[in-house]
Amino acid sequence: MAEPVQLDPQHRPMANRFRGFLPVVVDVETGGFDCHRHALLQVAAVFLRRDEQDHLVRDRTVSLHVRPYEGSEMDPKSLEVNGIDPYHPLRAAWPEDQAMGKLFSEVRREVKVNHCKRAILVGHNAHFDLGFVHTAAERCGIKRNPFHPFSSLDTVSLSALAFGQTVLARAADAAGIGWDTESAHSAAFDAEKTADIFCQIANRWQDGIGVPQPALRLPEPEELPPGS
């Protein structure tokens, strides 16, 4: 059973900020580009919070190594890029069904405490990550997938608009959040950088242009689930 989320007393549920969707920043590391053939090797999810100024901030990260499913393929070039040895004895990888179950449990819990109706995946080239997440869920027979089946929020497009950059490393540099080449292509590192970029763009837009007031409305206490 998952441990309860320890919320700050000033917790401000995401609720209406994105029309009832909870943005969850996801990055996957894989054995190739085809979600139907290549192995899912690592997945990370970054959860966000709203601070007192209604700014989005990075909260916590869940990162899981995933054992290649039986019959999966792996492209040596992809493994060279991400530096993963899928069968290293110290890798502590989860079977794919357990990893996806753990990930989805964490996401569903965040959806609940933020009084949202569903999660929406935020990613850099989000369609890639979304494809691997949904295909793994289908392969494992998981019915309660908390992510929207096709919608996503893509920081490639947002970074092109805000910074004139589309490559994650260049967008991070343009955003002033820095980049560590040695840490890149770790799902947790890439997801956290993507989260920082997403938060910065959303916050700059809110401060400079503004967002509709209903998007900032907090749910009334009686609307919140017990324990939130």
Mean pLDDT of the chain: 93
Mean pLDDT, rounded, for 53-77: 97
Please indicate whether residue 185 is annotated as part of the active site: yes
Residue 1 pLDDT level (bands cut at 50, 70, 90)? very low
3-state secondary structure 126-173: HHHHHHHHHHHHHHCCCCCCCEEEEEEEEHHHHHHHHHCCCCHHHHHH
Structure-token pair, residue 84: 């993963």
Mean pLDDT, rounded, for 59-69: 97
DSSP 78-134: HHHHH---TT-TTS-PBPHHHHHHHHHHHHHHHHHHTT-SEEEEEETTHHHHHHHHH
Residue 228 pLDDT level (bands cut at 50, 70, 90)? very low
Number of helices and strands (H, E) in the chain?
7, 5
Task: Please check the confidence at residue 59 and state whether its pLDDT lies above 80.
Answer: yes
Residue 184 pLDDT level (bands cut at 50, 70, 90)? confident
pTM: 0.92
